[in-house]
Every structure is written in structure tokens, then in C-alpha cells.
A and B are shown apart, each in its own frame.
Chain A
Amino acid sequence: MSLQLFIEQLLNGIQFGFMLFLMSAGLTLIFGVMGLINLAHGSFFMIGAFSASFVAGLTGNFFLAILASLIFPALIGIMVEFSIIRKLYERDHLDQVLATFALILIFSEATRYIFGAFPLFLDIPNILQGNILLPGEIVYSKYRLIIIIIGLFIALGLYFLINRTLLGIQIKAGQNDRQMIRVLGINISRLYTIVFAMGAALAGLAGALIGAIQSVEVGMGEPVLILAFVVIVIGGIGSIKGALIGALLIGVLDTMARLFLPIFFELIMETSQALSLGSSLASMSAYLLMALVLIFRPTGLFGKK
């Protein structure tokens, strides 16, 4: 294996990690601040991709499509928070799981009703098609590089928001003591709505960015949602830093395991068995890492003790 291929795969892992980060950042904030387990987070991923595909189909402009993938999920997030989620904050986790699971079914079937059962089309603009030559003769996809850059900017933006703004202080205070910030006279329901909408918008953006290189279809959010939950368990629930580190860990681990495990097993056993065992183990790698982290740090890497 050449060094170029290795670095290309490392970049692929990092790109996958940033995607997971966009999903898990919202999930971890919503859980950290409101104590809500939101299974419907994957639906916002799907809504983002469908809104982008719809707007791209109407206007032919990818950048407007990306904008739509932030705005529509945020608006729907606000509506859902107002009408349903708000009633769930005081309920126990089982009720939340039940209600947000119902939301998944409602969103999926509503989307199917509006757009039909077949996948939609969304492609990246011509200017981002193809590859770019990075230093060291590394050929890498322009679009995936852009995803990494967007992910970096959003991570920086969230860091700034949490640590340098009033909203960030309120979010942190909300994570520490919900009762207290209410007593201090902060409009807690407005804060909750903002956090929920922000999470929905980030998930929507992830959906649109990924939808352009995968398929825009009903139910596309749920597999990502499962990994996003793994990420926030590894990173520590409520921690943005944990979500970032966890997402990058999972992204790189998953990609590298897919690449190296079959090669590794080929050294010690027959090829067809090695391929099968290697790829099975690779698809388990994220969960194995989660189990390991839970054994040694039950609250996750950056979770509160």
C-alpha cells in the first residue's frame, strides 16, 4: 500500500468524522441542555437533504440548496419544538423515546407522501466535481475537501458560540443547572427553542452535504443517527468537544478498519474467509470502541463525572 493511498483514506476518515460531528453536535446539545433524547434527529438530516434536492431542482443552484437545508429543518424544528417537544422535557426518557420515535414515522411517511417512494436527485455543482492534487502527489476529491473545511469552520463557530457569547453561557448554565437559570430570570423556553432549531439546522446541513454524494431517500437519517448516538456516548453526553473528538475517532477508525482488517486477516487465513471476517469486524469497529470507552470511562471521554 502506498503512502498516498493511506493519506487519502485518512482524509476520507476525517471527512466522515466531520459529517458525524454535524449530526452529533446538535444531538449532544439537545440532550445536554434540555435532557431530551431526540430520536427524530435523523429526520432533520433527511429533511435537510430533501429540501436541498427540492430547491436545487427548482433553481439549479447548489448554494441556494445548501441554504435551504439550514433554513427548512430549523423552521420545522421550531414548529415541532413548540407543538410537541416542549411537552416532553418534564417527562421521563421512555416517554421521550416513544414520542420522538413516533415523529420519525410521521416525518418519514409525510416525506414519502410528498416526494414519492423513489430516491431524489441531488448532485454536486460542476465546479466541485473531480479531484484536486494535494502536496505529496495525493489525489483527493474537491467536494470531500470542502466538507472537511465546512466541518472545521462549524466546529470553530460552535466553540466560539459556546465560550464567547451570552447564548453560549446560557447553554452552559443550562447544562449545569436547569432550575437555577430559570430562577435567574433567563427566558428558558426561548433558549430551548434556539438550541433545538440549531441542532435541526446542523443535521439538515449534514443531510444536504451528504445527500449530494449519496442518495436522497426516505429513512436515510436513521443509520447516521445510530452512529451519532455512538459518538456522543464516546465523547461524553453534552460535550461539544467530546462530540468532535468522538466523531473524528469513529470516522477514522471505521475507514481504516474497512481498509486494513481484510488485509490483516488475509495474512493469517484463507482469502474468502478473511474478506468476510474482516468486513464483518470492520462494521462492528465503532461499537467495539464504544464498549471499550464505556468500560474505562463510563461517562465518555469528556463527560461529567
Chain B
Amino acid sequence: MFKKSISTFILFLLTISYAYGDKVKVGMITTLSGGGSGLGIDIRDGFALAVKDEPNIEIISGDDQRKPDIAVQLADKMIQSDKVDIITGIVWSNLAMAVVPAVVNQGKFYLSPNAGPSLLAGKKCHKNYFNIAWQNDNLHEAAGGYASSAGFKNSFIIAPNYPAGKDALTGYKRYFKGSIENEVYTKLGQTDYAAEIAKIRASNADSVYFFLPGGMGIAFIKQFSQAQVDLPLVGPAFSFDQGILKAVGNAALGVKNTSQWSKDIENAENKKFVEDFQSAYGRLPSLYASQGYDTGKIIVSAMANASIKDMDAFREALKNAPSQGFKSTRGKFSFSSNHHPIQDIYVREVVEENGTLTNKLISSGLVDHSNFYVDQCKM
């Protein structure tokens, strides 16, 4: 009861209502308070920026507090009493697994601006589910490919013990040609890696790959650097994002990481996005913000070509958005048959630019990359 009234209260505070016609109602369920809220806030802000000139979109937003049960409650409320047409916003794979199947089975669209668990791309894919960010394995596959091309032969790999962690290491191994010295799964939320770093030091590995999102990654990089283990570190973009780099400090300098987006990808849409985001919110956008922005722009594009009242037409308009006016901040973008992006995944390096740590593109890792689960999806 108590938890419920708190979440209703927060919901009330965060509900943004636009006083326009009721054309398309979007439910934004994302993490806005507590640990990990930086990610959700960026997705929400990126999305809001993308749709700010579209008077026919109404956003109802709610804070899931990174808890699956609250996310499910919010989705039920948004579908039943707010009558939303589209739900989006969820950051975490475990929350997405709890919410998405119920949403799409009730005849609503779900557009994922972040989480892309393998199950939703494969066996449990659905015609109403679109992923605008990536399938979970993608950035890790690119990292494995990069590690091979950089000449690494023997990797020590580490991830948290939960579905996305296993997807991550599977993705890395799928594209890494060398051998795996050791594979370590840590507790989700663990922030002390002394034991694991001692193991790394004692091993014969020539490279370390880690997937530790949020505070876990900050802790790992700092401790790894403090322990002065002299091995190259590779990771996905999540641990080297704009918001995180400040907290990691110089320990991140020179680390190679993989991302589908970077603020220095050259195209008009990206330039406009980075400038608009900075002037609207006074900070550099993160990859989460870019994903939220692209999600908003896809909806705007679909609305121009179909009415939400006709679900089949709207679904086609979403699917064909990349060829009907939607321009991604990442440049090339299209959907695979299981509604996940086909896109380039880049390798970036952490550099210092005018006293601020940021990322610089150094090469394109995987070109026109789709996902492994296309064949498992029967729509």
C-alpha cells in the first residue's frame, strides 16, 4: 500500500500532459529515481526533445524505480486507465522481460529505446515489438571482433550473473577468435572487484573484456587502474558514456569501447541532435539520449504516414520509417525481419578534449550488423 501510494505520488509529479488533441498517447516507463536514474532521465529527455514540435503526441511518464513489479503496475495503469497507444522507455532487460510480452499481447506497441534481450529478438519476438537501440549481444559482438583484429589472443572476460551478462559474454565469444583464459560472473550490483582483479593479475590473459553497466563499471575501471594491472581493457559503450566518464576520471583514458552511436558521427541529424540537446538541457547527450531521440523521431515519422487507429498500417509505417523520412542520429539504420536495427557498430577510444574526457571514433567495427536471432523469430 505504502509503496503504491509513493509511486502514484511520484507518477503524479512526473506526469507531463500536453493540452493537445488525443492523437497518439505514449507511455514512458523509465528509471527516474534512485540508482541508474541517469540513464532513464536521458532517455526521457532525448525522447521529449524529438517530439517537442509534434503537438499530437501526449507523453504520460512514470518512474519504475528500476523495479520489475513497479514497471508492471505502471504498464497496467497506462494501458487500462490512460489508454496509451505506445509504451516505451524501459532501460533494463529484466524489466523489459516483465513488461513487454504483456503490453504487446494487449494490442499495444512497445518501442524499446534500450533493452534488447535475446528472447525478445528470438523465440518471443512479436509484431508489435520494435527495438530502436540494439539487440543486447550487438556491442559485445563488435568488441569481440575488435579484440581479434587488435591481435589479442587470450581474454579474461567478466560480467554480472544475470541474463544480459550472459548475452554479453556470449556475444563477445561469438566474434572473438582467440581463446578465453577465464570467464567470471559476478553478483549483480557488486562494487568491489579486488578478488577478481587479483585473479586477472595472476592469469596469463593478454586482454580483459568486461560488461558491468552503471556503478559496477565505474568501480571496476577505477580499481583495475589503481591495481596497476598492465593489460588492455575493452568494454561496451555503457561504461564509457558521457555521464560516467566524469566519475571514472583518467582511469578510462585510452580504453577502447564499442558503440552504435557517438557524438562525433558525421551527419546532419546527429549534429542537430547534439546541439539541440546541449542547448535544451545544458549537458552533452549520452548514447541513451540518442536512443530516446531516435525512438521519438520514429514515432513522429510513422504518424506522418499512418493513423494510430489502424494498427496494421501504423506497424508498417514504423517498420518502413527508415525509408520514409526517419533519419537516425547514427546514420545508416534499417529494421531486420525481427524488428531490430541493422546498423554499423563503431570502435571508440576515450580521449581528453579541452579538459573533458570524451570518446573519439577510431574505426567501424561491424558494418550493417544485424542480430543472431533473426532466424529464431517466427512472426
Give every chain B residue within 8 A of A143 (Cβ-Cβ).
226
Across the interface, do A276 and B185 meet the contact criterion of CB distance under 8 Å? yes
Give every chain A residue within 8 A of B227 (Cβ-Cβ).
131, 141
Across the interface, do B215 and A255 meet the contact criterion of CB distance under 8 Å? no
| Closest chain B residue to A16, Cβ basis | B192
Interface residues of B in 26-55 (CB under 8 A from A): 33-35, 37-38, 41
| Closest chain A residue to B222, Cβ basis | A213
Interface residues of A in 100-132 (CB under 8 A from B): 105, 108-109, 112, 116-121, 123-124, 129-131
A112 interface neighbour in B33, B215, B218, Cβ under 8 Å:
B33
Across the interface, do A119 and B244 meet the contact criterion of CB distance under 8 Å? yes
- C-alpha gap A200/B11 in the complex (Å): 32
Give the interface residue-count category, chain B: 35 or more
| Closest chain A residue to B38, Cβ basis | A117
B176 smallest CB distance to A (angstroms): 16
A214 interface neighbour in B192, B195, B243, Cβ under 8 Å:
B192
Across the interface, do A118 and B38 meet the contact criterion of CB distance under 8 Å? yes
Across the interface, do A283 and B219 meet the contact criterion of CB distance under 8 Å? no
A175 contacts chain B at the CB level, 8 A cutoff: no
Query: What are the interface flags for A233-265 relative to B under an 8 Å C-beta threshold, 1 for contact and 0 otherwise?
Result: 000000000000000000000010011001000
Query: What are the interface flags for B189-218 relative to A under an 8 Å C-beta threshold, 1 for contact and 0 otherwise?
Result: 111101110110110000000000011001
- C-alpha gap A116/B215 in the complex (Å): 15
Across the interface, do B226 and A213 meet the contact criterion of CB distance under 8 Å? yes
Q: Among the interface residues A219, A271, A276, which one has the most CB atoms of the partner chain B within 10 A?
A: A219
Give every chain B residue within 8 A of A169 (Cβ-Cβ).
none
- C-alpha gap A123/B223 in the complex (Å): 10
B20 contacts chain A at the CB level, 8 A cutoff: no
Across the interface, do B222 and A214 meet the contact criterion of CB distance under 8 Å? yes
Give the interface residue-count category, chain A: 35 or more
Q: Is the interface of B mostly helix, strand, loop or mixed?
A: helix
Q: Is the interface of A mostly helix, strand, loop or mixed?
A: helix
- C-alpha gap A124/B34 in the complex (Å): 25
Give every chain A residue within 8 A of B190 (Cβ-Cβ).
283
A229 smallest CB distance to B (angstroms): 16
Across the interface, do A119 and B247 meet the contact criterion of CB distance under 8 Å? yes
- C-alpha gap A5/B198 in the complex (Å): 7
B327 smallest CB distance to A (angstroms): 28
B67 contacts chain A at the CB level, 8 A cutoff: no
- Are A117 and B37 CB-contacts (below 8 A) given A131-B228, A276-B185? yes
A12 contacts chain B at the CB level, 8 A cutoff: yes
Across the interface, do B37 and A214 meet the contact criterion of CB distance under 8 Å? no
B183 contacts chain A at the CB level, 8 A cutoff: yes
- C-alpha gap A112/B38 in the complex (Å): 10
- C-alpha gap A237/B217 in the complex (Å): 34
B194 interface neighbour in A112, A220, A255, Cβ under 8 Å:
A255
B187 contacts chain A at the CB level, 8 A cutoff: yes
Give every chain B residue within 8 A of A223 (Cβ-Cβ).
189, 191
Across the interface, do A279 and B187 meet the contact criterion of CB distance under 8 Å? yes
Across the interface, do A215 and B191 meet the contact criterion of CB distance under 8 Å? yes
Give every chain B residue within 8 A of A255 (Cβ-Cβ).
194-195
Across the interface, do B215 and A220 meet the contact criterion of CB distance under 8 Å? yes
A98 contacts chain B at the CB level, 8 A cutoff: yes
Across the interface, do A15 and B194 meet the contact criterion of CB distance under 8 Å? yes
Interface residues of B in 210-252 (CB under 8 A from A): 214-215, 218-219, 222-223, 226-228, 243-244, 246-249, 251
Interface residues of A in 269-301 (CB under 8 A from B): 271-272, 275-276, 279-280, 282-283
B19 contacts chain A at the CB level, 8 A cutoff: no
Across the interface, do A118 and B246 meet the contact criterion of CB distance under 8 Å? yes
| Closest chain B residue to A4, Cβ basis | B202
Across the interface, do A282 and B187 meet the contact criterion of CB distance under 8 Å? yes
B336 contacts chain A at the CB level, 8 A cutoff: no
A34 contacts chain B at the CB level, 8 A cutoff: no
A170 contacts chain B at the CB level, 8 A cutoff: no
Give every chain A residue within 8 A of B150 (Cβ-Cβ).
none
A2 contacts chain B at the CB level, 8 A cutoff: yes
Across the interface, do B198 and A129 meet the contact criterion of CB distance under 8 Å? no
Across the interface, do A98 and B2 meet the contact criterion of CB distance under 8 Å? yes
| Closest chain A residue to B66, Cβ basis | A219
Across the interface, do A129 and B226 meet the contact criterion of CB distance under 8 Å? yes
A177 smallest CB distance to B (angstroms): 34
- Are A219 and B34 CB-contacts (below 8 A) given A141-B194, A213-B223, A214-B192? yes
B280 contacts chain A at the CB level, 8 A cutoff: no
- C-alpha gap A1/B202 in the complex (Å): 9
B56 contacts chain A at the CB level, 8 A cutoff: no
B105 contacts chain A at the CB level, 8 A cutoff: no
Across the interface, do B198 and A214 meet the contact criterion of CB distance under 8 Å? no
A74 contacts chain B at the CB level, 8 A cutoff: no
Across the interface, do A12 and B194 meet the contact criterion of CB distance under 8 Å? yes
- C-alpha gap A118/B219 in the complex (Å): 14
- C-alpha gap A260/B191 in the complex (Å): 19
Across the interface, do A2 and B202 meet the contact criterion of CB distance under 8 Å? yes
Across the interface, do B35 and A218 meet the contact criterion of CB distance under 8 Å? yes
Give every chain A residue within 8 A of B192 (Cβ-Cβ).
12, 16, 210, 213-214
- C-alpha gap A12/B199 in the complex (Å): 12
B305 contacts chain A at the CB level, 8 A cutoff: no
Across the interface, do B226 and A124 meet the contact criterion of CB distance under 8 Å? yes
Interface residues of B in 140-158 (CB under 8 A from A): none
A41 contacts chain B at the CB level, 8 A cutoff: no
Query: What are the interface flags for B170-186 relative to A under an 8 Å C-beta threshold, 1 for contact and 0 otherwise?
Result: 00000000000001111
Give every chain B residue within 8 A of A275 (Cβ-Cβ).
183-185
Give every chain B residue within 8 A of A120 (Cβ-Cβ).
246-247
- C-alpha gap A213/B227 in the complex (Å): 10
Across the interface, do B228 and A144 meet the contact criterion of CB distance under 8 Å? no
Closest 5 CB pairs of A and B: A215-B218, A219-B35, A119-B247, A214-B219, A118-B243
Of the A-B pairs whose beta carbons lie under 8 Å apart in the complex, a sample of 15, sorted by A's number, is A1-B202, A9-B198, A16-B192, A112-B33, A119-B215, A141-B194, A143-B226, A213-B192, A214-B215, A214-B218, A214-B222, A217-B218, A218-B35, A223-B191, A259-B195
Given known contacts A112-B33, A220-B191, what 5 new A-B pairs fall within 8 Å (CB)? Answer: A1-B202, A121-B248, A214-B219, A217-B218, A220-B35
